[in-house]
Amino acid sequence: MPATKFICPNGERVPIKECLNSCKQKERCMFLPTLRAIAKSLDRGIKGPTVTELISGVRETYLKKTTSYAVNPQSVLYSLHGQAVHTIHEDNMDGEILGEIRLNDKITSGKFDLFGKIIDNEEGVLGDLKVTSSYKIMKALGIYKEDVETGEIYKSGLKKGQPKTRKIFRYDGVRHVWDWSVQLNYYRRLLEEAEFHVQRMFIQALCRDNSLKTAAERGITKPVYIIPIHRISNHWLDKYFGTKAKLLQQAIRTKRLPSPCSLKETWEGKKCLEYCDARENCPHAQELALLKEQKAI
């Protein structure tokens, strides 16, 4: 079931149809065509689970498919920005590039963004476009900060006699690209099943907060980064997606709520408290919210 309500800036829930007919608040939070585009993007009419749905927790996807829920139109707008980036490529594909084609297999379906000569003259390059935060790009590039000694010593105060330090950027950290990697590798798998050979894979990440001071503080100084993605074995992909698709089908058939999503899927619980659209229908999210409240007292 796609989302049925919008969350207004004051936190009230409004059925999407009612919002599109007339705004229940003092003034509209966005232009009407923007809200219509957001509403349209929420129901893509795809039956089976998609690659991105299977990368999310099984409980999240189950709840989104079976219960009515509300979304903040402003957050959905970010994914529409992503689609707008796709649109600018449409007239520039030069016949040697394929784009935006949905491929299926017996487990799932996925729509890749770009495939072909997308970097230079090398054939078989698969690319995915992301519009994302400087935080996500910093993690994906393995950027972190480290204290290095300046050669000076504190002459007074609590730190007297201790060496002074300053923070410098390092670029050799662990690259946190797991979800991008799994997604792109499954598109590769679908393309290879359709007899296209994929040589290399890349993410083109557009930073949505690039002009802010926080981006520079995270070592993100450019608006766009091209990030290479490595191959994952087909055996692993089949096992991962196959197991999750099976659990989801089982839950839908028996109408039983699957186990809570894993710590990795919930970003150590942060997603349950603030970002998961299914959280209002999820007992685990409510338990976590209660615990947080009790801790704050």
Output phi, psi for 127, to 5 deg. Answer: -130, 145
CA pair distance 57, 259, nearest whole angstrom: 9
Smallest distance from ligand SF4 to CB 164, Å: 44
Smallest distance from ligand SF4 to CB 151, Å: 48
CA pair distance 97, 74, nearest whole angstrom: 32
* Other CB atoms within 10 A of residue 140 CB: 22
Answer for the pair 62, 252: CB distance below 8 angstroms, yes or no: yes
Number of residues that bind ligand SF4 (CB under 6 A): 26
Q: Cβ closer to ligand SF4: 192 or 287?
A: 287
Q: Cβ closer to ligand SF4: 170 or 264?
A: 264
Q: Cβ closer to ligand SF4: 134 or 183?
A: 183
* Other CB atoms within 10 A of residue 99 CB: 18
> Given the rule CB under 6 A, which of 86-94, 108-116, 219-227, 282-290 is the region that contacts ligand SF4?
282-290
Answer for the pair 204, 129: CB distance below 8 angstroms, yes or no: yes
Instruction: Show the site string, 238-277: x = touches ligand SF4 by CB under 6 A, - = not.
Output: ----------------------xx----x----xx---x-
Which helix (H) or strand (E) segment holds residue 11: the answer is: none
Q: Is 254 helix (H, G, I), strand (E, B) or coil?
A: helix
Instruction: Show the site string, 73-102: x = touches ligand SF4 by CB under 6 A, - = not.
Output: x-----------------------------
8 is a site residue for ligand SF4 (CB under 6 A): yes
Cα dist from 194 to 53, 111, 184, whole Å: 22, 13, 15
Q: Cβ closer to ligand SF4: 189 or 271?
A: 271
Smallest distance from ligand SF4 to CB 273, Å: 8
- Whose CA is closest to 25, among 93, 90, 83, 73? 73
CA pair distance 95, 116, nearest whole angstrom: 9
70 is a site residue for ligand SF4 (CB under 6 A): no
Instruction: Show the site string, 11-50: x = touches ligand SF4 by CB under 6 A, - = not.
Output: ---x----x---xxx--xx-----x---------------
Cα dist from 77 to 18, 64, 137, 215, whole Å: 19, 18, 19, 21
Which residues are near ligand SF4 by CB under 6 A?
A: 6, 8, 14, 19, 23-25, 28-29, 35, 57, 59-60, 63, 73, 260-261, 266, 271-272, 276, 278-279, 282, 284-285
